[in-house]
Amino acid sequence: METKVFKPSEVQAAAQLIDEGQLVAFPTETVYGLGADATNVKAVKQVYVAKGRPSDNPLIVHVADQATVERFAQPLSTAAKQLIKAFWPGPLTMIFQLKPGALAPEVTGGLTTAAFRNPDNAATLALIRAAQTPIVGPSANTSGKPSPTTAQHVLHDLDGKIAGILDDGATKVGVESTVLDLSTNQPAILRPGAITASAIEAVIGQPVMTEQHHVGATEVPKAPGMKYKHYAPAAQVYIVDQKTDWPAALKWAANQSVPIGVMATNDVLTANALPANCEQFSLGTGIQSATRELFAGLRHFDTETEIKDILCQAFDNKGLGAAYMNRLNKSAGQTHFSV
């Protein structure tokens, strides 16, 4: 099929495709999502087909308001309402217990819970309102590959497989939303993102569990990114842990007979002489820009087929760095550079 690219001013045309049961990728402040009517089982099944996504990997439901969540979920707790007021629209996804039969198993992975998010993007909120339905929205990429942060990334993976893309330029955050499980007694972050545990605790006045990012091989994950390989380019990624490790890493790179990709901040790139066989991709000036550029850099080197290895800078695993390192560790398969 032809994949049409829509401007934000063409939201009505994109919404018409959603209403027809077709797939339309949409922008958020985090990454681009692959949209389908969350109440249309046939359309939802096509999301899994287009992405090559495992069927037990649940989908996040994108909504335009709190009232839509209340149509499907059990009564919201005080904490949930506080978090909605504080962070929606924004990069916080929350998991709630559902009313019986409220959403199809294809959306929930067969669970009695579902994840909901109100994205901070005017074009996508207009799309949801125009379609008059909540929209599922996993990242709009081939399953396992780096998430898309531009419409061009979506086209690279899904051109001809989906009906349309709503193009609103590059995303602002660059990694997926924080996923917070509110279906259990103690809130737990299942996927770190731009909304940190400390920010959530400050709103709800209770501790949040933060070490819940993985599930076993036979378990059904409550949120995306907990079970399967994610964010991985074709090349092997090596995490360079400290700025002092870069001379050794670049010495190793210089001794390789093939080109090596290097992803680091400007200070690292200017402080170290890159060997002639290294191609650099700047992660900017710090953790915010690095988080925004991480997937773009991985995708950049995915198009450079001669590059089989990528050296990528680590950051402290705290605050936004927890989200960055979560994605980098998954893309590298936990592989760190060592002499």
Q: What is the pLDDT of residue 170?
A: 97
pLDDT at residue 228 greater than cutoff 80 = no
Quickly count: other Cβ atoms within 10 Å of residue 338's Cβ.
11
User: By C-alpha distance, which of 127, 114, 192, 171 is closest to 295?
Assistant: 171
**pLDDT tens per residue, range 160-183:** 999 999 999 999 999 999 999 999
231-242 pLDDT, tens digit per residue, is 789 999 999 999
Q: Residue 231: what pLDDT?
A: 79
Contact 43, 21 (CB under 8 A): yes
| Residue 253: both structure tokens together | 């790179």
Predicted confidence (pLDDT) per residue in 20-79, tens digit: 999 999 999 999 999 999 999 999 999 999 999 876 678 999 999 999 999 999 999 999
pLDDT at 229 over 60: no
Give, rounded to a whole angstrom, the gap between the first and last alpha carbons of the chain. 49
Fold for 4-204, please state it.
DHBP synthase (3.90.870)
What does the pLDDT read at residue 215?
Answer: 52
Of 224, 251, 249, the residue nearest 330 (C-alpha) = 224
* Average pLDDT for the chain: 94
Domains 4-204 and 236-332 alike in fold = no
| Domain 236-332: CATH superfamily, name plus number | Threonylcarbamoyl-AMP synthase, C-terminal domain (3.40.50.11030)
Name 209's bridge partners.
188
Tokens of 99: 């009313």
Give the residues across from 295 on adjacent strands: none
Domain map (residue ranges) of the chain: 4-204, 236-332
Residue 311, strand partner residues: 238, 262
pLDDT, mean of residues 2-28: 98
Task: Please tell me the distance from the alpha carbon of residue 269 to that of residue 271, in angstroms, as a whole number.
Answer: 6
Residue 219 confidence (pLDDT): 56
Alpha-carbon distance of 192 to 190, in angstroms, equals 7
Beta strands 309-313 and 4-6: pairing type?
unpaired
In this predicted structure, the answer to whether residue 303 has a pLDDT above a threshold of 90 is no
- Please indicate, yes or no, whether the overall pTM of this predicted structure exceeds 0.85: yes
82 pLDDT band, cuts 50/70/90, is: very high
